[in-house]
Amino acid sequence: MRIVTVITRLEGGAGVLALRGVRALDPGAFRPLIITGSGGRLLDEAAEAGIEVLVDPMLRPEIAPRKLRESI
């Protein structure tokens, strides 16, 4: 069974928890995939653990306060 975890940033506390949850899955029963907008050292940790990671920058919007103000 394919299990997908989606997280905007595979970094910091939430990223550690997401990676820990995926590592807890039985590899004989599940094929985990993490989809993230960005990541740091946890990308390397996931790769070392054999966990497939897909980085999609669209999950992490740019910080653009002027654009936000213009749309209000």
Q: How high is the pLDDT of residue 46? A: 96
Domain ranges of the chain: 2-71
Task: Centre a 10 Å sphere on the Cβ of residue 6 and count the other Cβ atoms it contains.
Answer: 13
pTM of the predicted model, to two decimals?
0.80
Of the two residues 22 and 66, the one the predictor is more confident about is 22
In the predicted model, is pLDDT for residue 69 greater than 60? no
Estimate the crossing angle of helix 12-23 against helix 41-48, to 10 degrees. 10
Q: What is the pLDDT of residues 11-61, one digit of tens each?
A: 989 999 999 999 999 989 999 999 999 888 999 999 999 999 999 988 876
